[in-house]
Each structure stands twice: as structure tokens, then as C-alpha cells.
Amino acid sequence: MTTYYTKDHEWVRVEGDTGTVGITAYAAGQLGDVVYVELPETGAKIAKGADFAVVESVKAASDVYAPISGSILEANTALSDAPEKVNEAAESDAWFVRIQIADKGELDGLMDETAYTAYCEGL
């Protein structure tokens, strides 16, 4: 299992051909208190770099961008009832979707944890 990160503060944890996607703790911290999460339907196709979800906080609404292309296998519907989980467990229990990865080659442009940490320190 390997986790990759984007410059837009999304992560994808890859296990085989499945990716679990969410936003980073850094992103959740920048948003403030999350009050609503809109997720795509199971079966929807998402494209790398395209928005696929919306997170609303007390500060603003933000699009969430796909770190990799694929088909939605499952959406974390628990976030509908408890959006605050994004602030509490952004990189674990508050994942957004699980996807069937379309092209693992798309992972090449993403950062590993060390590179992402360094990126955030420079912001």
C-alpha cells in the first residue's frame, strides 16, 4: 500500500488496482470546520485533475480534484451525516471515494509523503 499526494492537497492510497482518495490534513486545516461534503455516485467516472467532490466549511466551498482517473467503486456516505470527520481524520476514516484505477501510469506525476511534507513546508 502506497500513498501519493497532489499539489492541490488530495491523496490516493493505492492497493492493487484500487485507490482510496481523500483530502490531506493540511487541506482540512486550511478549510476550517467542514460542514458539508458532496460526493459522486457509485459507478461515476472521474478524470485526473477534474473536480469530483465539493467540501464546504464555515469559511468557503472548495472543489476536490481527482489525483488519478478511474471509476467510483464506493463513496464514503458516512461523511454525509458527519462531515466534521474530515477535520478529525482527513487521511484515514474520512476518505471520500474508492476507485478502480484506470491507468497506474498517472501516479508518476504525484508526490510521496516526504516530497509532499517538504512541499507543504514551503507554502
pLDDT in tens, 3-34: 999 999 999 999 999 999 999 999 999 999 99
Is 21 part of any domain?
A: yes
pLDDT for the residue numbered 56? 97
37-66 per-position pLDDT tens digit: 999 999 999 999 999 999 999 988 999 999
Which CATH number belongs to the domain containing residue 35 in this structure? 2.40.50.100
Is 122 part of any domain?
A: no
pLDDT for the residue numbered 64? 97
The DSSP symbol for 81 reads: H
Domain count, the chain: 1
Is 121 part of any domain?
A: no
d(CA 85, CA 75): 14
pLDDT for the residue numbered 53? 97
Is 60 part of any domain?
A: yes
- Domain enclosing residue 60, as ranges: 2-116
pLDDT for the residue numbered 44? 97
pLDDT for the residue numbered 113? 96
pLDDT for the residue numbered 80? 93
Is 18 part of any domain?
A: yes
Is 85 part of any domain?
A: yes
d(CA 68, CA 41): 17
Is 89 part of any domain?
A: yes
69-99 per-position pLDDT tens digit: 999 999 999 999 999 999 999 999 999 999 9
Is 123 part of any domain?
A: no
